[in-house]
């Protein structure tokens, strides 16, 4: 995208992921042309052939680290960026591919690939913050595009981004949804999950599946007890905690503790 | 991450390396080697890291596959949701309500509109017009870019109404949807869809004026085919060279091969060769099932099948955009909410296979399910994985035509030839760097 020395420089890097979170930037159809006129897009292979060298004011990092090569590449990305922002559940928590962290990765590779020797991958899928200091993070599988615009805007003008730290329950109540956990006994991760999605799942008559990851002050053990009282099995509760943010420590701990019950 | 060309005149060698292919979804590289004016080596490397979906799906309850497999691809999550739901429904003998079936088509139309508008204008058109990207293109073609973004948003709006959000929507489930929209909610889309039909026609007319490289390949086109409709969720898998099978016969007909330079598998027709899935294949095999207005526009633009020039996929994608807008309108006109959002399902042991048409082509899923309803084994074959060998074959056949051009031109044309397939590398590994070596 065209070069202009005065605009803040932004680069978008991808690690192990589905591309959905960086697509969120292109999904800002109404805002895209104004966003890109305010910044200089220096590296964003999903959208442009152009490559402008760093350093960058903002690096947006999508995806988790799953290969030796990527473990080294994230160090380079960190060195090139003034502010490093991780976007989405893969970057902030290891993603759905972190389910390997409880399994035999070599056996998994043999299951998927006919010639496992050709595949180079790490035993663990780890979040970016396990490798380099992260300045800001944006949760979600996928992220919410208006939160992304808010985060970029706030970073560029040097203020704190206005992002909710409370649970999905708050959004759900504000939306006027019927509480499906209380009224129907449907297992719902809303009480322990960070807001940001707009309490979508309960509005669609299903329990929250925790795609924004654990809220800061989450108490998953209490939720486990509640779900057990409602008749959920330990296996079901463990699967609930082990999805897109399975390796986030609160969910990880909850899923390991329920295994012991 | 860069595009490099090393030329050693003494040895007459040119190496072209594109470390990170741009304007594709996911990560791959291309390496081309030219020696003494001859093409010596073409290799599409997929270095997108493996995520091992088929392995960690084991032990999950089968209905979870609908949400989990969506995470293979942020560009076409609905395709994954649909193939997974259909495969599990076949394993469990679930019949869906006709209005649920119609809503699934509408949902898929939304994804096609979003994905095709993105690819036609933002990812592929800049190649034809000589821009690095859509933002650079917007300076001279603002109206067209605004039209593209509006079309893209329209596709996303359909997905949001039915699924709550654009990426990884949350409503699809085995048997139907967690919640279905009221009539007024889908009727609110009618005005913009009516504009969309006109806009897609304008897009096709614009794209038809592009300068197309003179290149044709002898493809075996493979897609779903349905007797009454342009294929989305249902149909038999057919080919231009005589394949006509149920999805259950997929693995007996096609073979995935593992090659060293790729984290994705290469697909071939057993005892034959590479094949081509995607818009060109669907169009070739199903042209008669397109609405009359789309067919007559295709004839007016001299684009009726057979089309064997892969660069014209951008034109066929535009025609499919028009189809998807018209089809969405037709479905909305006849929509009545089904009595239940989804059929009741009872987990049991079973085996189910299904294929649906993702924007990039046929997407196959197979699940073996245990008596407890948990997945015992899963197999997922995304469209880009099926096209990878065909993309390399295209480069082998096309590049010799342009070896007299400057290295930068060869590199760009090679990238454009790859983008003909709208490849999704994130999918294919469950794809690209260009390396051009010229001696």
In a domain, A114, yes or no: yes
What local confidence, expressed as pLDDT, does residue B429 receive? 54
Helix H or strand E segment including B46: strand B38-46
Mutate to test the interface with A, among B45, B51, B110, B120 (most CBs of A within 10 A): B51
Residue A1: closest CA among B128, B131, B24: B131
Distances (CA, A) of A70 to A77, A100, A121, B49: 10, 17, 10, 9
The mean pLDDT value for B248-276 works out to 85
Q: How far apart are CA B103 and CA B343, in angstroms?
A: 14
What local confidence, expressed as pLDDT, does residue B6 receive? 72
- The CA-to-CA distance between both ends of chain B, in Å, stands at 23
| Co-location of A18 and A136 in the same domain | yes
| Co-location of A137 and A188 in the same domain | no
For B74, the closest of A18, A66, A113 (CB atoms) is A18
A100 touches chain B (CB under 8 A): yes
Q: Does residue B1 have a pLDDT over 60?
A: no
What local confidence, expressed as pLDDT, does residue B222 receive? 98
The mean pLDDT value for B49-75 works out to 94
DSSP string, B103-129: HHHHHHHHHHHHHHHIIIIIIIHHHHH
| Binary contact (A29, B156; C-beta < 8 A) | yes
Residue-wise pLDDT tens digits, A63-103: 999 999 999 999 999 999 999 999 999 999 999 999 999 99
- The CA-to-CA distance between both ends of chain A, in Å, stands at 55
Rounded-to-10 torsion of CA B298, B300, B304, B310: -70
| Co-location of A137 and A16 in the same domain | yes
The mean pLDDT value for B54-73 works out to 96
For A100, the closest of B56, B150, B426 (CB atoms) is B56
Which pair of tokens denotes residue A239?
A: 């699967």
Residue-wise pLDDT tens digits, B51-63: 899 999 999 999 9
Domain CATH number, residue A37 = 3.40.50.700
Q: Does residue A4 have a pLDDT over 80?
A: no
How would you list the strands of the sheet with B375-381, edge to edge?
Answer: B350-358, B361-369, B375-381
Lowest mean pLDDT among B36-40, B91-95, B264-268: B264-268
Residue A57: closest CA among A17, A16, A6: A6
* Window 121-160 of A, Cβ < 8 Å to B: 121, 125, 141-142, 144-145
| Binary contact (A47, B67; C-beta < 8 A) | no
Q: Is A134 left (phi over 0), alpha (psi -120 to 50) or beta?
A: beta
| Co-location of A109 and A195 in the same domain | no
Distances (CA, A) of B187 to A29, B179, B183, B328: 22, 17, 6, 11
To the nearest whole percent, how much of chain B has pLDDT over 70? Answer: 94
Which pair of tokens denotes residue B388?
A: 């990878």
Distances (CA, A) of B71 to A89, A240, B57, B153, B169: 11, 16, 12, 21, 10
For A47, the closest of B23, B49, B256 (CB atoms) is B23
Residue-wise pLDDT tens digits, B393-427: 999 999 999 999 999 999 999 999 999 999 887 66
The mean pLDDT value for B82-97 works out to 98
Sorting pLDDT into bands at 50, 70 and 90, what band is B20?
Answer: confident
Q: How far apart are CA B415 and CA B433, in angstroms?
A: 9
Comparing alpha-carbon positions, the chain A residue that sits nearest to B76 is: A20
What local confidence, expressed as pLDDT, does residue B13 receive? 86
Chain A: nearest CA to B35, how far in angstroms? 26
The mean pLDDT value for B65-77 works out to 96
ipTM of the complex model? 0.96
What local confidence, expressed as pLDDT, does residue B404 receive? 92
In a domain, A163, yes or no: no
Q: Does residue B42 have a pLDDT over 80?
A: yes
| Binary contact (B136, A1; C-beta < 8 A) | yes
To the nearest whole percent, how much of chain A has pLDDT over 70? Answer: 98
Domain range enclosing A50:
9-157
In a domain, A190, yes or no: yes
- Domain C-terminal end among A96, A130, A157: A157
Residue B295 burial class via C-beta count within 10 angstroms: exposed 0-12, middle 13-18, buried 19 and up: middle
Mutate to test the interface with B, among A45, A91, A146, A205 (most CBs of B within 10 A): A45
* Window 29-68 of A, Cβ < 8 Å to B: 29-30, 32-33, 36, 41, 43, 45-51, 66-67
Q: Does residue B304 have a pLDDT over 50?
A: yes
| Co-location of A76 and A186 in the same domain | no
Lowest mean pLDDT among A248-257, B212-221, B408-417: B408-417
Q: Does residue B36 have a pLDDT over 70?
A: yes
A89 in Cβ contact with A95 (< 8 Å): yes
Q: Does residue A142 have a pLDDT over 70?
A: yes
In a domain, A3, yes or no: no
- Altogether, the residues listed in chain A come to a count of 261
Coil, helix or strand at residue B415: helix
In a domain, A1, yes or no: no
In a domain, A2, yes or no: no
| Co-location of A202 and A139 in the same domain | no
> A206 to chain B: which residues are within 8 Å by CB?
170, 173, 178-179
Residue B233: closest CA among B172, B181, B298, B313: B172
Lowest mean pLDDT among A157-171, B87-101, B419-433: B419-433
Sorting pLDDT into bands at 50, 70 and 90, what band is B261?
Answer: low
Given the structure tokens 């990560």, which residue do they identify? B27
> B55 to chain A: which residues are within 8 Å by CB?
100, 103, 107-109, 111-112
In a domain, A4, yes or no: no
| Binary contact (B149, A29; C-beta < 8 A) | yes
Distances (CA, A) of A171 to A97, B184, B222: 28, 25, 46
Sorting pLDDT into bands at 50, 70 and 90, what band is B432?
Answer: very low
Coil, helix or strand at residue A82: strand
Chain A: nearest CA to B312, how far in angstroms? 21
- pTM of the model as a whole: 0.95
| H helical segments located in B47-141 | 53-56, 64-70, 77-92, 98-117, 125-129, 134-140
Which pair of tokens denotes residue A162?
A: 């206005």
What local confidence, expressed as pLDDT, does residue B229 receive? 97
| Binary contact (B68, A96; C-beta < 8 A) | yes
The mean pLDDT value for A231-240 works out to 96
Residue B361: closest CA among B388, B326, B396, B392: B388
Distances (CA, A) of A108 to A50, A97, B251, B369: 37, 11, 21, 18
What local confidence, expressed as pLDDT, does residue B431 receive? 33
How many residue pairs bridge chain A and chain B with CB atoms within 8 Å of each other?
Answer: 204
Average model confidence (pLDDT) across chain B: 92
| Co-location of A143 and A174 in the same domain | no
| Binary contact (B168, A95; C-beta < 8 A) | no
Q: Does residue B262 have a pLDDT over 80?
A: no
The mean pLDDT value for A237-258 works out to 97
Q: Does residue B202 have a pLDDT over 60?
A: yes
Enumerate residues 6+ apart whose C-beta is below 8 A from B209: none
Higher pLDDT, B234 or B434: B234
Sorting pLDDT into bands at 50, 70 and 90, what band is A36?
Answer: confident
CA B198 to chain centre: 23
Enumerate residues 6+ apart whose C-beta is below 8 A from B125: B134, B137, B144, B207, B210, B314
Lowest mean pLDDT among A2-6, A44-48, B353-357: A2-6
| Co-location of A99 and A151 in the same domain | yes
| Co-location of A139 and A180 in the same domain | no
- Domain C-terminal end among A126, A157, A188: A157
Mutate to test the interface with B, among A48, A124, A143, A199 (most CBs of B within 10 A): A48
What local confidence, expressed as pLDDT, does residue B427 receive? 63
Chain B: nearest CA to A154, how far in angstroms? 23
Chain A: nearest CA to B202, how far in angstroms? 19
Which pair of tokens denotes residue B7?
A: 């030329």
Coil, helix or strand at residue B410: helix
Coil, helix or strand at residue B397: helix
Enumerate residues 6+ apart whose C-beta is below 8 A from B146: A33
Residue A159 burial class via C-beta count within 10 angstroms: exposed 0-12, middle 13-18, buried 19 and up: exposed
Q: Does residue B3 have a pLDDT over 80?
A: no
| Co-location of A178 and A53 in the same domain | no
Q: How many independent structural domains does chain A possess?
A: 2
Q: How far apart are CA B272 and CA B262, in angstroms?
A: 21
Higher pLDDT, B33 or B9: B33
Residue-wise pLDDT tens digits, B323-343: 999 999 999 999 999 999 999
For B132, the closest of A48, A107, A118 (CB atoms) is A48
Mutate to test the interface with B, among A2, A20, A35 (most CBs of B within 10 A): A20
In a domain, A60, yes or no: yes
Sorting pLDDT into bands at 50, 70 and 90, what band is B16?
Answer: confident
| Co-location of A79 and A132 in the same domain | yes
Comparing alpha-carbon positions, the chain B residue that sits nearest to A18 is: B73
Average model confidence (pLDDT) across chain A: 93
Helix H or strand E segment including A186: none
- Domain C-terminal end among A157, A192, A215: A157
> B341 to chain A: which residues are within 8 Å by CB?
205
| Co-location of A188 and A72 in the same domain | no
Residue B277: closest CA among B227, B321, B243: B243
């Amino acid at each position: 995208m065209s070069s202009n020395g005065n605009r803040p420089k932004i680069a978008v890097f991808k690690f192990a992921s589905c591309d959905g979170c960086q697509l969120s930037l292109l999904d800002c159809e109404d805002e895209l042309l104004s966003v890109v006129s305010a910044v200089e897009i220096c590296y964003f292979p999903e959208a442009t052939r152009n490559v402008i060298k760093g350093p960058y004011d903002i690096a947006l990092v999508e995806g988790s680290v799953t290969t030796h090569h990527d473990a080294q590449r994230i160090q380079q990305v960190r060195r090139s960026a003034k502010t490093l922002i991780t976007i989405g559940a893969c970057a902030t928590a290891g993603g759905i591919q972190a389910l390997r962290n409880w399994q035999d990765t070599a056996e998994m590779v043999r299951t998927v690939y006919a010639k496992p020797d050709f595949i180079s991958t790490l035993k663990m899928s780890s979040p970016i913050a396990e490798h380099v200091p992260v300045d800001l993070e944006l949760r979600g599988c996928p992220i919410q595009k208006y939160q992304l615009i808010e985060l970029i805007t706030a970073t560029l003008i040097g203020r704190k981004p206005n992002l909710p730290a409370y649970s999905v329950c708050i959004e759900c109540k504000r939306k006027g949804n019927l509480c499906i956990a209380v009224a129907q006994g449907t297992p719902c991760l809303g009480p322990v999950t960070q807001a940001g999605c707009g309490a979508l799942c309960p509005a669609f008559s299903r329990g929250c599946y925790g795609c924004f990851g654990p809220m800061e002050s989450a108490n998953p053990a209490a939720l486990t007890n509640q779900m057990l009282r409602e008749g959920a099995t330990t296996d079901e509760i463990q699967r609930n905690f082990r999805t897109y943010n399975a390796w986030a420590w609160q969910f990880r701990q909850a899923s390991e503790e329920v295994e012991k019950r | 991450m860069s595009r490099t060309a090393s030329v050693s005149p003494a040895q007459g060698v040119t190496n072209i390396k594109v470390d990170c292919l741009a304007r594709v979804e996911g990560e791959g590289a291309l390496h081309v080697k030219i020696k003494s004016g001859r093409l010596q080596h073409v290799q599409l490397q997929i270095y997108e890291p493996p995520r091992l979906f088929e392995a960690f799906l084991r032990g999950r309850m089968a209905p979870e596959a609908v949400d989990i497999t969506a995470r293979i691809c942020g560009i076409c999550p609905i395709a994954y949701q649909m193939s997974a739901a259909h495969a599990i429904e076949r394993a469990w003998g679930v019949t869906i309500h006709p209005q649920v079936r119609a809503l699934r088509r509408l949902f898929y139309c939304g994804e096609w509109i979003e994905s095709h508008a993105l690819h036609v204008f933002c990812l592929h058109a800049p190649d034809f017009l000589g821009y690095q990207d859509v933002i650079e293109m917007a300076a001279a073609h603002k109206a067209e870019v605004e039209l593209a973004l509006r079309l893209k948003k329209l596709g996303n709006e359909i997905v949001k109404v039915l699924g709550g959000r654009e990426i990884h929507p949350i409503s699809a489930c085995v048997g139907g949807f967690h919640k279905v929209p009221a009539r007024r909610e889908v009727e609110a889309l009618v005005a913009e869809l009516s504009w969309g039909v006109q806009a897609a026609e304008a897009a096709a007319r614009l794209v038809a004026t592009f300068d197309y490289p003179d290149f044709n390949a002898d493809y075996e086109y493979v897609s779903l085919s349905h007797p009454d409709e342009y294929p989305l969720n249902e149909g038999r898998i057919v080919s231009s060279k005589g394949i006509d099978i149920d999805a259950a016969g997929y693995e007996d007909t096609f073979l995935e091969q593992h090659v060293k330079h790729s984290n994705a598998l290469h697909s071939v027709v057993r005892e034959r060769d590479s094949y081509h899935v995607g818009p060109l294949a669907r169009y070739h095999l199903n042209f008669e099932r397109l609405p009359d207005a789309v067919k007559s526009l295709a004839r007016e633009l001299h684009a009726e099948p057979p089309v064997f020039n892969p660069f014209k996929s951008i034109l066929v994608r535009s025609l499919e955009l028009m189809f998807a807008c018209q089809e969405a309108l037709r479905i909305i006109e006849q929509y009545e909410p089904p009595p239940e959002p989804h059929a009741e399902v009872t987990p049991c042991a079973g085996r189910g296979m299904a294929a649906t048409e993702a924007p990039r082509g046929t997407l196959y899923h197979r699940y073996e399910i245990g008596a407890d309803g948990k997945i015992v084994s899963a197999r997922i074959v995304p469209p880009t994985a099926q096209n990878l060998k065909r993309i390399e074959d295209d480069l082998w056949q096309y590049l010799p035509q342009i070896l007299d051009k400057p290295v930068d031109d060869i590199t760009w044309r090679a990238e454009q030839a790859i983008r003909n397939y709208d490849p999704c590398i994130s999918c294919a590994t469950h794809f690209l760097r260009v390396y051009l070596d010229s001696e």
